[in-house]
Structures are given as C-alpha cells and as structure tokens.
Structure 1
Amino acid sequence: MLTDILFPIDEEYRSGTDDEPFAFFLEGFVESKRADLLLGYFSSSAINVLSLGFAKFISNGGRVRLIINNILSSKDKATVLKGLDAEEDDNRFLIEDYYGIKDALDSYGHHFFDCIAWLIAQKRIEIRAIKPIGRRGIAHYKSGIFYDGTNKVRFKGSCNFTASGLMENLEELDLKLSWHYKGEAFLRHERDYNQIFEGKSDIAALIPFEEIEEAILQDYGGKDLDELLVNEQHLLAQKAKLKHSEATRRVLETIMQKIEAYRNAPRFPFESGPRQYQQDAYENWIGNGHHGIFAMATGTGKTITALNCCLNEFAKQENYQIVILVPTTILVEQWEKEAKRFNFRRIIKASSKNAGWKEALDDIRNSQSFGVPDSYVIVSTYRTFGNPVFQAFLKAAGDEIILVADEAHNVGAPAVAALFAQLPVKKLIGLSATPKRVYDEEGTEQMEAFFHDAPPYAYNFTMERAIDEGILCPYYYYPRVVELTQPEMEKYTEISAKLASLHDRASKDNAAKKSYEKLLMQRKRIIHKATSKLAAFESVLRDIMKSEDGPGLKYTLVYAPEGFYDENETDLDFYPKVPEDSRIIDYYANAVREVSPETRVADYISESTDKEHTLRNFETGKIDVLLSMKCLDEGVDIPRTEQAIFCSSTGNPRQFIQRRGRILRQHPDKHFARIYDLVVIPSSVPTGASFELEQNLVRKELERVVDFAYMAINNFAAIKAVRSICDRYQINPDSLNPYSPPVA
C-alpha cells in the first residue's frame, strides 16, 4: 500500500538528498496497482532502471498508462509498434512470474524489448503520443498519479521518465498524498488526463505511432536528448557506477524484503480474485464450523474453491497445513499444478508413482517435534492415505490441518470410511458433483456424518446454474434409440423370466437376493454390450461428417463399453482388422477408421502409458477422436471437447453427470457442445410379471435422457426422440424430470 511508504515530511524529493526521485518511482511502482503518467520525453530505459520495482508492479496486476510527446528512440518506436500488433493472449510470461519479468526488464537487449512489446500487447502498458494543437513545441509534462486501489499519490516535477532523468540529472518532485487532501485535489488532474488519453482534449492531439518522430543523434545534435539515445553499453555503464544515498539503499533493502515475502506467500492465481460464489462457499464453510461438503457441478471450479478456503485460512495463521485426497494419480498431478498456481511452495505428492513421500512426512514430523511450525500441501491418493505411515502422520499432525477430500463420495466406501472415522482432523472440505453414493445409503450417511453435513450441503452449485451463468457451455443433446438383436433379446427375455420368478423371494431370502442381483448384472451386461450400438455409432459418425456447421470429427470424445465381446456376440468378419481377442473399445476405434480413414484416433485407458501426452495432443488437435471407458469419469480436464458420443450405457447418475461435465467445460474456441447418446432398449415389450421389471430398466435409461434433455438447447426435440419408447412402456417423461418439465 502507498501508505506504507515513508514519504519526506515536506513531501518533496530532490536529487543529491536522502530523498531521491529514483527512490520515489521505485517505491511508487512497488506499492501500486495502477499508474497514470503524463510525461514529456520517455524512454523504455527508465523501465530498465526501475526493473526491480516495475516487475513487482506488474506482479501486483499493475497497469500503467503513459502520455508522451511525439519523439521516441528508433528501438522504442519499433517496440511499441510490435506490441500494438501482437496477440493479446500471448502467454510469454505469467503475471506472477516476478523473476521472469524482472530478468527481461533488467537485460537491455533483445529480450528487454520483447518484454516491453509483450507488456504493451497485454495492455499492461498503454501509450498515447500527443502533440500540441496550434503550437510548434512539444508536450513536456512531468507529472502523474500512482494508485494502490484505495489511496493515491500525485507527483509533479522536473524529472523526465528516462534513464538519465532518473540516474544522472539533478531533479526534483513535489507530491500530494490523497490521505492528506480531499478528493477534489486530484479530480481536475484525473479529468484532464483522461481527456488527453482518450483524444478529447482541445490542447493536445493524439499522434498515430506510425507518425512518431525518431530521435536521431545527428539530426538533433544531442540537444537535451541524450537520455533518449542511450544505447545498451551506455546504460549498463551507468548502472554499474550508480550510487545512491544511504536512505535509498535502505529503500532498496526494504523492497527486496517485501518482494521475497511476496514471492513466498500463497495468493489467488488470478488478479480478478475469487468469484463471488467461491467466497460464498468459504463463508458457508466457516459458518458450518470449518467443515462441510461442496456439491458443485463438474467444471465449476471445485479445486479453486477449496484452495481459496485454504488461502483464507492461511491469511489468519500465516502458515498452511493442507492434506488433499484424490482417487487417481492423474488427479495428484492436477492438484499439484493448481496448488502451485496458488503459490503454495512445499507440495508433497504421495502415491504409488511418487517415491520419497514417507521421508518427506518424517521431515515434517521432526520439525514439529522441535516446535517449528511447518507449511506444506500433501496431495495423496485414497489408497496411499490408507498406508500406516500416512495414518500415523495424520494422527500426530495436530488439529490445524485442513483436509480436502476430492470426489468425496469415495469417503463412503467401507475401507475408506473406517479410516476417516479415526481421524482427529477438524477442518474438513468434501468436494463432489455427486455426493450421494448410488445404491449405498449407509455409505452416503457415513460420508455426510464425517463432514458434519447433509443436503443441501454447506455449498451447492448446480449444473443448470453453471450453464446459465456461462461457467459451463450450453449443449445440444441427441439421443439415438438402439434395440437389442434377436439373439440378445432371447437371452434378455430368458433372464427377465428368471428375475420375475425370484422377485418376491428376493426381499425375504438372502440367497434369492444374491441370485437376483447376479441376474440383474447379467441383463445389464446385455444392454451394455449390445452389438447394434456399433452400427448406431457408425451412423452417428457419418451424420457428424455430413454436418456443415460442425468441426467434423475433430475434438470428439467417445465413451466406449468396457470389456470384451464373447465369440458369439459379434460378427468378426464385419471388422476384419480387429483381432479376435480385442476389447470392445478397439471395435469402436476401428469403426472411426472405417468411416474416416484420415481421422487420427487414440485410446485413453488405464493401460495407456502417457495419458498426459495423449490429452495434450487431443487439446492441440493432433488427435481428433479420443476413446475412453471409465478413465475420464473423475476430475480430468478436457475442455477442448466439442462433441461426445456416449456408447457405454450407464444407469449410474454419478457416471453420466461426471461425463457430461467433462464435455461442458469452457474453452475459448468452443461456443457450445454436442452430446450423442446411444439409448438401448429391448426390441419387444413383454407381458405379465416381466413387464414391470423391464419397465423399471427402461425407466433407468430414460432418466438419463430426461436429465440430459432438460438442460439442452434443443430440449423438446431431445424428448421427442424417445417419446415413442415412453409410450410403449407407459412412462410419463415428465415424471422422470428431476427439475421441472420443459416449458414451451
């Protein structure tokens, strides 16, 4: 903050005294988020001289507006033009990369000018060149205002914003501090500045940069323009012999300490700060006693929301002790990346793929045994969480730990629930798009009891709201009805008859219940592996290829059925390139190649050796179609997906909700998504006792369809596609809607 600067009592800076103009500009940039400078001569060499403070200013999220006269060095003119022509989304530097920016600003060579051009392209430096209207002279202002978001410091003086002006000349500056003056003292200056900057002034005209005059030594004879003509060797020589007063050296030391503290402190990764709903989640969590479940739709930023809670807690106690549990090793890597973006410095990965985590936990315990507070983030899989070494660490770690359980429904699994019941941790965050455990009320109750929470939970963010607020992208939904083949229908009918005969006994007899559940699984497998889906899949692919407004098959994600076809379940001659022992997913991959031989296809399965590389290639368009089974159900980001084909029938709400969330993540080049869904039903309707059983199975399939259709752009067309099936099985689609019926 600007109020942290120890300004001279007389609010004046003067060369040759303890209060040098150089120190003012250095501290002013370090403590500000915006600067409006009204200058005469300008040279980027001044930014080089102030690189220490200017890099911190940029890392603050700072932006500077410059109004200068119409004379620039050749290099600076070329640099400005380069920056104005550059793409704004060029990510050469991260804004938080203080040292990266400082090194570029501190090296007066090609990289320095590249950095200045980048800052201009990013709107970190906005420059307007002006010339007096009706006069022959040049603009020779030397004033400006620094802002920190609350306070302002205005300066006026003799100092040009150039290397020589800051380092060699005898200069002076007078200040006005906003906390010593009423607001009107700044209003006129700000109004006049904005008029000039916007080209609305009647005393100064904006000059296109192509018309800027270049300061050439031989033309100007060096008259008062030496500072504009500083070359690299001259500037480096100046910096080498630079001498400051004792007071200025103390300023430099203080700034270095602040910068080091800034470099080491966790902070929110985006300068806009957390979204309101992320702050609301934190406040609700606090209000619920530092524990609770965040039931947030996939793609709404559960990770950032949880880490923001940790960040707020760090601000209260100045150290952080965070344990994050995830279901997969891929999510260990993802959480590590997110924690680094928050600038959490010590991150320990604990999983079967990460050696050394036990030693790292021992180091923390040793430090704490000597009373030394230690900051750390541990990201572990649920499996490693069960390791005795990990459990011993948690039991001895104290009650200040924040435990974040990603995909928190895993906590309800019996083995995990038993371990959670013994934990002394008090600060708890559970994250899940689908907290309820399907077919496991006891597990759901255990999970909710551990987090001291119950529906609607500490924070709830629905997918419908996420789409409405633009956090997830809208989508079209195309259900495609697929019927069982005659052999499949015969097996299906046979199993259905057995289920009907066991139905009444299953509720009273454990042996009958187990047989009943086994038969249900056999019948589900028939639906799951239905071979007509292959032909339907090909039909969908051909329809996509014919579409004139889509991307073809690029950026397509396919959820294929798991397992293998039995020898009598498909005609292998239909896909001669697929070996007999191939998985079902291989048949689907081959179907893509049959329809479009030039399309690049890849699998993303548990056996894949380099999943990160595969995802990167899909993101960049080097892979067109990505086929997966269950690997992409939890937590993996694939925002580039523009269309998905669901070939793996699932009645598990968690699976289809998670899968839909994968596809709806926002991407700059994606305006909406398309979801194609193969809905498998029997080819005939039974009578008698079997009808109710079959109706229930079809109802399960249609629940997914109605859920997907409700929020789709084309919701009525999607419902219409399955209306005949609803009529056949006497099912009212509105009764399946978990929200409310679509309104015409």
Structure 2
Amino acid sequence: MLKTDVIWPKSRRFMSRTDWEPLGFFSEALCNATTFDIKLGFFSSSAINVLADGFAAFLYNGGRMRMIINDVLSEEDRTAIVVGESDINTPYFDLNAIGHISYTLSKHDEHFFECLSWLIRNERIEIKIITPKIGNGIAHSKCGVFSDGINKVAFDGSCNFSKMALIENIESINAFCDWDGERDKERINDIVRDFNRTFSGEDDTVKYLKADQIITYITKTYKYKDIQELLEDERRILHRRAENSTSDSIRRVLERAKAKVTAIMDTINIRKAKVKNEQLTTLTPKFPFTEPRSYQKEAFNKWKVSQKGLFAMATGTGKTLTSLNCLLEIYNKFKYYQALILVPTITLVEQWEDECKRFNFSHIIKVSSKNNGWRSEIDDIKLKESLAQSDDLPPSFIIIATYASFSRESSFKQLMSLSKKTQRQMLLIADEAHNIGAPNVISKLDRMRILRRIGLSATPERQFDDKGNNAIMQFFGCDGKYTFEYSMKDAIDNGFLCRYKYFPHVVRLNEDEMAEYKKISLQLAKFYNVDEDTFSGADDILMRLLLKRKRIIHKAQNKEEVFRQIIKQRFEECGNLKYTLVYVPEGVQLDSTVQYATTDNPIDDADVDKLIDKYTQIIQEISPTTTVRKFVSGIQDRDEVLRKFSTGETEVLTSMKCLDEGVDVPRSELAIFCASTGNPRQFIQRRGRILRKHPDKHIAIIHDLVVAPEFDSAEENYNMERNLLKGELQRVKDFAGLSENPAFAYTELEEITNYYNLSIF
C-alpha cells in the first residue's frame, strides 16, 4: 500500500544523487499501486525502460495504466502493439474502433515488451496521443497519479522521462500524498482534473492523433508469458542491474525493488501450495436436497435460453436455491463455477455463504466492510488464472458482495480486475434485484462484462422510479415481462409457505396530529395531479413535504394503544409472546423515495432507540418477564440474536427495517406492522418473513396498523387524500385476499371505506 508500505522523504522531494532518487519514487510507487495515470513530455522507449522497475509487480497487483503522450513515437511502439495482437484467440484492443485514437506503447527492453503485451492482451492499458494545436512544439507536461484504491500519490516536477534525465541528470520530482492534508489533496485533485480533461478529449488546446495503420502480419517477436514468469524475469533483471550499477543510491533503489518482487514470489509459492491443498479437499457440488422443486427446474429452463433473466418469486419460495441451482447446472456442464453474488446487507452476505456451502460450493470470498482481506483473495484468483495451463480448468470461486461495496469505485475496479475471459464466464446473481436500479449501481453497469445474469426479487419494481425499472429490465434481458414468476398465492396453495390470518386495524390521528397533517396536505395538493394520481413539481420542496407527512403517519400516537391491545390479547390467549416480530414506526425516513442501494452500515435516525424502547416498554408492561431484543443495523451478534429467537430464548424481536430483505426467521408466528409505509415492497417482504415454514408452526398471524386521516368531501385536497387511501386499501385487499379470514378486513375497514366512498373489493 502506498501509505503503509513505502518510506517517503519528509520533504516529499526526490532528487538525483541523493538517498531519494527519482528512479526510486517510480519503482516504489509501481510496486505498491493498482492504477497509474501519467502525462508525459518528451517520450522515448528508453524512458519506459527506466520506469519499468517494479512493472511486473504492478501487473501482479492488478495494475491498470492510462497514458497521455506526445506524438514523438518510435517503431518499437508499433511493434509492441502488434505483439499484443498476435494471438487471435486472446482479447486485444481494436485500435481502429476506439474513437480513431491510437493506443501505443514503447519499450527498449524485451522484458518490458513482454509486460506490455500482457497488458494489451488483458485490456489494462489506454493511451492517448496528443500534439499542441498551435505551434510546432510538443506536449511537455510531466505529471501523474498513482493509486492503490485507498490512497493517492501525485507527482510533478522538472524530471524528463528519459533514461538520461532519470539517471544521469540532476533532476527532481515533488510528490503529493493525500494523507498529508487538504492542501496536498487539492494539488492531487488538480492533477487528476487536468489529466481527466485531456484524457476524455475535452482539452481544446491539443489535437488528438489517429493511429497509423498497423501492419496485419508481423512475425511474433516476444512469446506470451504469465505473471509468474514476468516476475521471475524482473527479479533477475533487477539483480543484474543492481550488481552493475556504479551509483550507491541507484543500487539501493534497485535492491528495494528486487526485495518487493522477491516477497511477491514467496507469496505466490505459498498460495500455490494453498491451491493444491484446496483441490485435494474440495467436495463435489450437488443440490442440497433430493432434487430441485419443479418450479425451480422450470426457472432454470427458462433462464438458460438467453442466460439472462429476472426471477419474480415470492419471499420464502427459495429464490436462493433456485439461482444456485442455475450455477450448479453450469458446473455440471463445464466442471467449474464462477459467480458474483450481490446482496443488500452484511447479514445476507453471511446467509448466502451458508447456502453456497450447502451446495458444496467453496472458494467463497466475502466483500463487505467487515472483511478487510478480500482484495488479497481476489489476487489469489488472478494468480490461479495466470498459473493455469492451456488445458487446465479455470479456477472455481464465488464472490459475495454488498451493493454498497460493489458500487464503491475502488472496490468495483478491484472486482472488475478479473480477466475479461473470467468475467464472461461468471454468473451474476443480484439478490433483491431492485437495488440494481439505484443510481450508484446503474452507473457501474456499462463497465461490467459479466454476461450471465440472474435477478432475484419478490418485488422487482422500484416505486416512483421508471428510469431505474427500465434499467433493471434491460440489464436482465427482459422484454416487457419477467423471465420467471412464482407468486405468493402459488407458494401458499402448493404448501411452500405457511397459511396466515390477517387483521388490519384502523388508527386515527389525534387532534394535534390531524391539524398538522391537514396543513401539510394543503401544501402537497399544489403538486398533485388528480387525473394522473401523481405528484410533480419542485423535487426538493415536494420531498420535504412528503417527509413531513410520512413522519406524522409513522409516529401517530394512537398506534401505541392499538399495539397495547394486540399484545395484551395475544398474551392472554397464549400465556406468552414467543416468536413475535414487531416492526416499529420508522421515525423520519421516507422509505418509498429511497433511490440508493443499501449501505453496509446504514445510519438510523436519531430517535430510533427511543421509538423501539417505547414499544418495548409496552410489551414489558403487559408481561414483565418477556425477553425482547432489538434487531437493528450495527448490532454485533445478529446470528446469535436470530438463533435465540428461533429457540424461544428471546421471545420478541423489534426491528425497524433490518428484517425487510432476505433475513430468515422461519420460527416467527406473530407479526405486528406498526410502521406505516407507502412502499408495497416492504409490506410484501415483511409478510414473507412471517410466512416461512417451520415444523412447529401451523398458521401465522399478521396485525397491520393502517393510519386513515379523515377529510371532508368539501375540502380541496379531499380527492388527493382519497386516492392516497385508495392505494393503502389495495395493499390491504391483497393481504386479505390470500388470508384465511378475508371477511375481518372488509368489516374492520367498512366505516372508513364508506366515509370515502371506496370499496375494498
């Protein structure tokens, strides 16, 4: 790493003929970086020869380069490109198809050419050739940025990138490290902005040159070598150069670079031994039960036609098993498996790992804020790729990542550093696939080369987000309909989900709440189109008003009394409150407008604990001996909490969203929805939590608190509120329709439906 593994001069200045040689700056930075952007002045192959110390180590780290160079090029540059293209079975840059811009690279030395060919074959280098628009000079900038995915180091200075300048002349380079404070960060950002402006073609002071036509057939000069061979060559070259150097300071630089490469080689040998051991102990993947259910087989048969698809399957119907069965079928055909699984939360990372192990899938890499070692595990995969012989099977692995980690640029680049071939072989499984439509995920999709894709969700559609929904359908190759659907009705009728009784309860706002609600409602009416039943207008203002409105509904005080009566009745009937889930009011967040993928460690509202404590207090007023645990983001013992709940040691779980997506709680028998939300996904997912089967559970009970403000028909916002309630009643209708006691819902809501002249039917 740039910050921790490199010793930097206090002055951050590198000068020839001192202990801090400019040559040392580049060798140290290359050995510890994963990306390198460089804007050169006068350029020659001998310059890259000097910069090549540590270059193979850079490749091993997953290195990617972008170069901006002037138009002074040598024949060796063109030869290097041809070498990279010589194997027609290996992906390479099509120079004539990328915006008519040349991609060239130079190297005087055979080792560098072999590294260069490797880069080109693996599409890890881009070069822009420029020349000034005015005058006969050449582009003469000399700056660049190294990054390891966490920290950045930029450089700027008088040093020309030629062998004479770096070794013979008295030259200097100033380095800027982003951990040195805001001023250095700004200097780095300035270099980054300048580089990106030129690289993106937005620099109107230069001309961008087309590549000369590349001769199609040239004798292959340099054989293809894998990374291990390149590292071995580099170690020998560094050793020989250090022995022959007449400068003590240069010799020390080369010795340090050799030590870095030697350490990498030692790591490779250890990992090779580990790979062999894994191969000896790996079990054969298989379906964990007798065979897949008929509908799981049907899902695979529909998916395999295009190997893209979106599975809209009710919560609790085995979406995980269905998708992993597709991966198993791939293994059965090709005898290896490679997958990237995306999930919303850390809890689901652990849950998916358990499911993968049930299939005997191994080599599982977990990418989240809890696992700091995953990057080296990705390096292991790349090492296995580089060591594989032509007749070897590709390495098998499964990567499980949270959407938050996946959408973080540094993590995304590391995940996508796997070879193009590997990405095309992989299967992407997107759990709770509506997260794919979030802007911070959508922005990554066009850079992903994974062709096999499965999206999973009980509720694939994103509310109020047509753009996100279109992106989801397009990404999973759906033409207007889902690839496979399995409804909650199907699951209940076929015995895969538990039967349930549904009890909605109408909750009124108190006098103060109603007054505040009406004031906000009048303001919202200005943004409401009755004919289209939609809001439109100034997003910020509208969003604030919707938040205020939702806050009142979430925290309606009369919910507490209704909740008290439900708990009291249950305790009197059963003598305990075991296996009870309580979704408490959510305070201030407007969940239906959240557009971004779930974070690893979401920050709950300031009053979360107060709200949960209030409902916990009501439970313990009814039964002081009842054990209650919070299930909220950030708790350290999630698995233990769920285990104790499943055995009855913990009788009641109170949650505020953390049980929405994918978390298994099959022993739950009673659910109380105190949280009011306009997002149908949350209710469907929460219903799915309570309907999971358990040998000792025969029927589930759901209580749903429905807030219904009352407006006089003469009020100008009456139609808006009537339509909003109509949406709530649609949800109640859906829930009641699949329940064992639909008549209760119709009777309970009869007064409010008559008041608004609505029908639950």
1:400 matched to 2:425 = yes
Q: Residue 307 and residue 394 in structure 1: after superposition, are their counterparts in 2 closer, same or farther (change >3 A)?
A: farther
* In 2, Cα distance between equivalents of 1:383 and 1:604: 20
Deviates more, 1:522-531 or 1:443-452: 522-531
Matches within 5 A, 1:502-517: 502-503=527-528, 512-517=538-543
1:397 Cα deviation after fit: 2.7
Tell me the alpha carbon deviations over residues 179-225 of structure 1, each in whole angstroms, 9 at most, x when there is no partner: xxxxxxxxxxxxxxxxxxxxxxxxxxxxxxxxxxxxxxxxxxxxxxx
Q: Residue 683 and residue 509 in structure 1: after superposition, are their counterparts in 2 closer, same or farther (change >3 A)?
A: closer
Aligned residue type for 1:392: S
* In 2, Cα distance between equivalents of 1:389 and 1:606: 27
1:415 Cα deviation after fit: 1.2
Matches within 5 A, 1:690-729: 690-729=717-756
CA contact (8 A) 1:399 1:424 kept: yes
Report the counterpart of residue 444 of structure 2 in structure 1.
419
* In 1, Cα distance between equivalents of 2:491 and 2:531: 42
1:597 matched to 2:633 = no
1:499 Cα deviation after fit: 2.2
Q: Residue 352 and residue 509 in structure 1: after superposition, are their counterparts in 2 closer, same or farther (change >3 A)?
A: closer
Aligned residue type for 1:285: W
Matches within 5 A, 1:327-406: 327-372=344-389, 373-386=394-407, 387=411, 388-393=413-418, 395=420, 397-406=422-431
Matches within 5 A, 1:241-640: 264-270=283-289, 272-287=290-305, 289-372=306-389, 373-386=394-407, 387=411, 388-393=413-418, 395=420, 397-503=422-528, 512-547=538-573, 550=574, 552-563=576-587, 582-640=609-667
Dislocated runs of 4+, deviation >3 Å: 260-263, 501-514, 579-582, 683-686
CA contact (8 A) 2:587 2:611 kept: yes
1:450 Cα deviation after fit: 0.5
1:582 Cα deviation after fit: 4.9
1:703 Cα deviation after fit: 2.1
Report the counterpart of residue 664 of structure 1 in structure 2.
691
* In 1, Cα distance between equivalents of 2:438 and 2:615: 33
Q: Residue 646 and residue 581 in structure 1: after superposition, are their counterparts in 2 closer, same or farther (change >3 A)?
A: closer
Q: Name the SS for the 2:692 alignment partner.
A: coil
1:704 Cα deviation after fit: 1.9
Aligned residue type for 1:332: V
1:514 Cα deviation after fit: 3.7
Q: Residue 394 and residue 559 in structure 1: after superposition, are their counterparts in 2 closer, same or farther (change >3 A)?
A: farther
Q: Name the SS for the 2:428 alignment partner.
A: strand
Aligned residue type for 1:622: E
CA contact (8 A) 1:685 1:728 kept: no
CA contact (8 A) 1:365 1:397 kept: no
Q: Name the SS for the 2:371 alignment partner.
A: coil
Matches within 5 A, 1:140-179: none
Unaligned runs of 5+ in 1: 1-259, 566-578, 735-744
CA contact (8 A) 2:309 2:453 kept: yes
Tell me the alpha carbon deviations over residues 496-519 of structure 1, each in whole angstroms, 9 at most, x when there is no partner: 222234546999998645423322
1:424 Cα deviation after fit: 1.1
Q: Name the SS for the 1:274 alignment partner.
A: coil
Q: Residue 336 and residue 580 in structure 1: after superposition, are their counterparts in 2 closer, same or farther (change >3 A)?
A: closer
1:688 Cα deviation after fit: 3.0
1:261 Cα deviation after fit: 8.8
CA contact (8 A) 2:283 2:360 kept: yes
Aligned residue type for 1:691: Y
Q: Which has the larger radius of gyration?
A: 1
Q: Residue 475 and residue 394 in structure 1: after superposition, are their counterparts in 2 closer, same or farther (change >3 A)?
A: farther
* In 2, Cα distance between equivalents of 1:691 and 1:516: 18
* In 1, Cα distance between equivalents of 2:742 and 2:535: 44
Tell me the alpha carbon deviations over residues 646-666 of structure 1, each in whole angstroms, 9 at most, x when there is no partner: 000111011000000000000
Report the counterpart of residue 687 of structure 1 in structure 2.
714
Q: Name the SS for the 2:362 alignment partner.
A: coil
CA contact (8 A) 1:564 1:581 kept: no
Aligned residue type for 1:407: E
Tell me the alpha carbon deviations over residues 226-268 of structure 1, each in whole angstroms, 9 at most, x when there is no partner: xxxxxxxxxxxxxxxxxxxxxxxxxxxxxxxxxx999621011
Q: Residue 368 and residue 496 in structure 1: after superposition, are their counterparts in 2 closer, same or farther (change >3 A)?
A: same
Aligned residue type for 1:546: E
| Identity %, equivalent residues | 46
Deviates more, 1:500-509 or 1:518-527: 500-509
CA contact (8 A) 2:324 2:356 kept: yes
Report the counterpart of residue 132 of structure 2 in structure 1.
none
CA contact (8 A) 1:297 1:462 kept: yes
Q: Residue 407 and residue 394 in structure 1: after superposition, are their counterparts in 2 closer, same or farther (change >3 A)?
A: farther
Unaligned runs of 5+ in 2: 1-278, 590-605
* In 1, Cα distance between equivalents of 2:535 and 2:724: 22
CA contact (8 A) 2:336 2:395 kept: yes
State the superposition RMSD in angstroms. 2.4
Q: Residue 506 and residue 672 in structure 1: after superposition, are their counterparts in 2 closer, same or farther (change >3 A)?
A: closer
